[in-house]
Amino acid sequence: MASKRDNLLYKLRKKGVRVLTRERTIFFAFDREPFDVVQVKRLCREYHFNVQLELQ
Taking each helix axis from N to C end, the angle separating 4-14 and 38-47, rounded to the nearest 10 degrees, works out to 150
What pLDDT is recorded for position 32?
Answer: 87
pTM recorded for the entire structure? 0.88
The domain total for the chain is: 1
Q: Does residue 56 or residue 50 have the better pLDDT?
A: 50
Query: Could you list the residue range(s) of the whole structural domain that residue 15 is in?
Result: 4-54
Compute how many other C-beta atoms are within 10 angstroms of the C-beta atom of residue 36.
8
* Residue-wise pLDDT tens digits, 23-55: 999 999 898 899 999 999 999 999 999 999 998
Q: Is the pLDDT of residue 7 over 80?
A: yes
Please state, in angstroms and rounded to a whole number, the distance separating the CA atoms of residues 23 and 33.
21
